[in-house]
Amino acid sequence: MSRNSQWGGRFAAGPSAIMQAINASIGFDHKLWRQDIAGSLAHAAMLAHVGIISPADEVAIREGLTAIAARIDAGDFPWDEGLEDIHMNIEARLTQAIGEAGKRLHTARSRNDQVALDVRLWVRDAIDGLTEQLRDVMRALVTRAAAHAATLMPGFTHLQPAQPTTFGHHLLAYVEMLSRDLSRLADCRARLNESPLGAAALCGTGFPIDRHMTAQALGFERPMRNSLDAVAARDFAAEFLFCCAMCQTHLSRLAEEVVIWTNPYFGFVRLSDAFTTGSSIMPQKRNPDAAELVRGKTGRVMGSLVGLLTVLKGLPLTYFKDMQEDKEGIFDAAETLTLTLAATAGMVRDLEPNAARLAEAAGAGFSTATDLADWLVRELKLPFRDAHHVTGRIVARAEQLGRALDDLPLSEMQAIEPRLTQGVFDVLSPAASVASRISYGGTAPANVRRMAQEWQERLG
């Protein structure tokens, strides 16, 4: 059989080529370079402080790492796959630049605690960036909600008309969801904010290091208390991925609504050309591609979470090369969420509600039937189940006549329940229904305005 060079030809050199390809991580873990250099600077400063290396060596290491950082930042650093990972690439270049002092940097540490440190630092930085983006999406939603606190729209259950609500109240529901995502990220950050540096390969070190010094220098609350756990733990990464997946799921739900709302059969909102695309064959089309991609990218974030949990589930203590598989999923999930948060913020600021169409739809499907039942309980003292039955008969009569509830003659209603009065019409319009929902968290426009104001103050 002839060899297809597209499939496996690069491994024709034999086992060494295969091993290098599967073992090397520099193709993706170079993204940890800032964290790796920060950890090395803190480690070198500590080694000099406790007398393990000389002050002159620490200065040489610091200057050498600073120069390497400048080269990487400028895109002028040659990554060598033969050196396997970010740690060895930087250490080799440092030793080449400053000689013997570079070889002393790795005293009292291992690549095991080094990579654990780098990933924690990277995730912490990612959380800080995502937190600011989340707040921006929330601000966009709150601004829209405040402007549309009284804009009627249908509320749905089972995607069927249920009760009237307002567009502002609907958007604030997503603000609440995203606020919990913020809280989860903050909790994740707090839990991961312990330093593994100094755990070395797995059992600590015999050198008189000061782990509290390096933890403080790197912004951690404290060193991790168990060296085995410090090397082996990746639950912080899984928790971060869950936070990303949950947030992405919330964005996906909003994106799905945008897809539905922009459909001409609904016609609830309009997106500009900035967040839609046309069709290659149908000139009339305006496709909500940004929303569809926010929705579609959710699968890859969920996949990263499941992938890492699967890697971890069979690992005894402490370090295994399997754990190299944590990074690509973390990087991809964070980068995907970064993009979808930006797209969502843009869509929210771009979309224009069709207030007339929303108000029309708010009254469809006899959406104020619950208000009628509540009126019967409140005014006529009917048990709710009896009121529910009476309301059902009135709705059936309105359906027979092709009339909305607030357009049904009082005489027709009185034929079913004689004690009904003209006052019932005070609750039968969608606007009246919405205004009546004054319970805490309800959809009354006054509630929505107050809650939007609270969020504006909290978000700044």
Catalytic status, residue 367: no
Q: Nearest-CA neighbor of 324 among 89, 119, 121, 36?
A: 119
Catalytic status, residue 279: yes
Name the residue type at position 349.
Answer: R
3-state secondary structure of 223: strand
Pairing of strands 222-223, 194-195: parallel
Contact at 8 Å (CB) between 229 and 240?
Answer: no
Contact at 8 Å (CB) between 289 and 346?
Answer: no
Q: What is the dihedral of CA 67, 69, 73, 76, to 10 degrees?
A: 60
Within 10 angstroms of residue 440's Cβ, the number of other Cβ atoms is 6
Q: Which residues pair with 164 in a beta bridge?
A: 154
Q: How far apart are CA 279 and CA 272, in angstroms?
A: 15
Q: Which residues pair with 153 in a beta bridge?
A: 165
Given the residues 54, 183, 272, 279, the one annotated as active site: 279
Name the residue type at position 257.
Answer: E
Q: DSSP H helical segments within 274-314, as ranges?
A: 289-296, 298-312
Secondary structure letter of residue 30 according to DSSP: G
Given the residues 2, 5, 16, 158, the one annotated as active site: 158
Contact at 8 Å (CB) between 177 and 214?
Answer: no
Q: Nearest-CA neighbor of 220 among 58, 44, 42, 65?
A: 42
Query: Which secondary structure element, helix H or strand E, spans residue 213, and what is its range?
Result: helix 211-217
Q: Nearest-CA neighbor of 362 among 418, 408, 399, 406?
A: 406
Token pair, residue 63, equals: 């200057």
3-state secondary structure of 269: strand
Helices 235-262, 289-296: axis angle to 10 degrees equals 150
Provide φ and ψ at 254, rounded to 5°: -65, -40
Contact at 8 Å (CB) between 314 and 325?
Answer: no
Active-site positions? 158, 279
